[in-house]
Chain A
Amino acid sequence: MNVIKILIYLYFFLFSITYGQSEITTVAVLDFEARGINALEAGTLTDRFTSELNNTNTMRLVERGMMADILEEQGFQQTGCTTDECAVEVGALLGVQKMISGAIGKIGSTYTIDLKMVSVQTGATEETKSVTYMGKVDGLITEMEILAWELMKLKPPQALVLKKRMGAEAYLSQQTKQKTKIGAMTRSLLIPGYGQFYSGNKKSAFFFMGTQVAFLGLALNSQSKFNSLQSDQDAALLSYNASVTQSDIETYATKIINLDSDLQSANDQLTLFSISAASTWVLNILHAYISGPDEDLASLPVYLAYNPVSRGFGLTWSITL
């Protein structure tokens, strides 16, 4: 027991030396007081808040387990420590600069969260945050994560804001749908540039969409010109066939020959633009695959599998249709 005690003090001593002299603030978080929710839920929410606080990288956090050990060694009961004075006292025992305490309450179906950051040195309240939340208790997790950033006067990450907006369940469901190269390729197969959008490559997406639209527009224009010429030629052909004098026949025959030349030209243009559009489309599919999202090897549809028939291992490839 003495060895443990020495080790704890040694850790505490080293912790103080290491971080005490730096500009980074040391912070400890007291278990949030549960008012209307059970202690287990309050403990879980405190854990999540502490974890997220650590993610802000703005302070050095005393691990909660370690904090409990130290307080226990000092004969201090954390339970019931809800006042600022108590928080300051605990902070002093831990040797931290700031203490965070709070309470999570429930009235009807509305939850309230009140957090407070107290300076151990002055005993003054430096920051307070309050949030009112309506909904399932699960949603409190996101609220706690956002509060961790806001308490440190930081802007919460976009992912957290999105998680709050979408709801945790929908957000997590979306996160599990990993983007794949095949997914990008399939989308580009459907609409040129769609796969690049899916991969987040907007410049390429606009390039392929724009090029495709341009070629299709030119092809349609050529087709329209072709149709117009075809219509003129049909009319000239009717007149030619109805003509019985040589002069009329020659006039309409010349017209038909000239229109035929224009028709060939319009058809060549149509073919050129169509092939260009098709080539761009194929390139867009290849590009979508090559520049598609990087995948974990585990998520690739290729498996090394034992084949009981051939009694050997082989690569199996599959694609979901």
Chain B
Amino acid sequence: MKYFFSILFVFFFLSCENDVTGVDDLLDNPLDENQVDYDVPAFVFYPSLFDVSLGQSFQTQIYAMGVENLRGVNVLIEYDETKLSLQNLNNGSLADGTNPLFFTDTDTPGRIEISSVYMSADSGSVDGNLKIAELIFSTISIGSSTIDFMNESEMLDPDDNLIEIKGFAQGVVNAN
């Protein structure tokens, strides 16, 4: 019994150190301009990383990040339809009000198109990080897949001019 306690004592000292996760590993908000590796304005999935079980659904939001003078967007998204199934698609906060200008097209498997326009009596455009839509997917087969913005996606100012999009974030799904 003496030796048992002695061994415990040794383990006690050996275990007297905590693992401290580095800040860089902690700060992984996809909307954090100081941490992400893409420039703004950008289209971003928030959150962007999913570890889910097979058949389980998950939700992600589409953000226009770091925008200035934005009036409307046309977002094109593609995903692997053999691994993911779109369950639902909801309006975000860019197009709000009683009759929001928010249109979607999900007819093509593996592809989603969203058009959303900001309407307000106070101003004709909006700045910052803006939620465009919410997507709900479910996994239909095991494996890793991505959700991507297509380069044809657009951001428009009140004069209908294109705003240069400098970054597209990627969503990563790991179905177990």
- State the A residues within 8 Å of B (CB): 186, 189-190, 219, 223, 226, 230, 233, 237, 240-241, 243-246, 249-250, 253, 256-257, 260, 263-264, 267, 270-271, 274-275, 277-278, 281, 321
Please pick, from A219, A230, A244, A263, the residue contacting B31 in the complex, using a CB distance under 8 A.
A244
A267 near B31 (CB under 8 angstroms)?
no
A249 near B29 (CB under 8 angstroms)?
yes
A273–chain B nearest beta-carbon distance, Å: 8
Q: Measured between alpha carbons, how far is A1 from B26 in the docked complex, in Å?
A: 110
- State the B residues within 8 Å of A (CB): 2-3, 5-6, 9, 13, 16-18, 20, 22-23, 26-29, 31-35, 46-47, 63, 66, 128-129, 131
A190 near B31 (CB under 8 angstroms)?
no
A195–chain B nearest beta-carbon distance, Å: 12
Interface of A is mostly: helix
Q: Measured between alpha carbons, how far is A110 from B23 in the docked complex, in Å?
A: 84
Residues of B within 8 A of A281 (CB): 9, 13
Residues of A within 8 A of B128 (CB): 245-246
A240 near B16 (CB under 8 angstroms)?
no
A226 near B18 (CB under 8 angstroms)?
yes
A219 near B5 (CB under 8 angstroms)?
no
**How many Cβ-Cβ contacts under 8 Å join chain A to chain B?**
70
Q: Which of B16, B22, B128 has the most CB of A within 10 A?
A: B16
Given A186-B2, A274-B17; 11 other pairs, CB 8 A cutoff: A223-B18, A240-B29, A243-B29, A244-B129, A250-B34, A253-B27, A256-B23, A260-B20, A260-B22, A263-B20, A270-B18
A235–chain B nearest beta-carbon distance, Å: 13
Residues of B within 8 A of A275 (CB): 13
B31 near A274 (CB under 8 angstroms)?
no
Residues of B within 8 A of A226 (CB): 18
B6 near A189 (CB under 8 angstroms)?
yes
Q: Measured between alpha carbons, how far is A230 from B129 in the docked complex, in Å?
A: 29
Known contacts A244-B46, A253-B27; decide if A278 and B129 are in contact (CB<8 Å): no
- Among all A-B residue pairs, the 5 with the closest Cβ atoms: A274-B16, A278-B13, A260-B23, A249-B32, A189-B6
Please pick, from B16, B32, B129, the residue contacting A271 in the complex, using a CB distance under 8 A.
B16
B26 near A256 (CB under 8 angstroms)?
yes
Q: Which of B9, B22, B128 has the most CB of A within 10 A?
A: B9
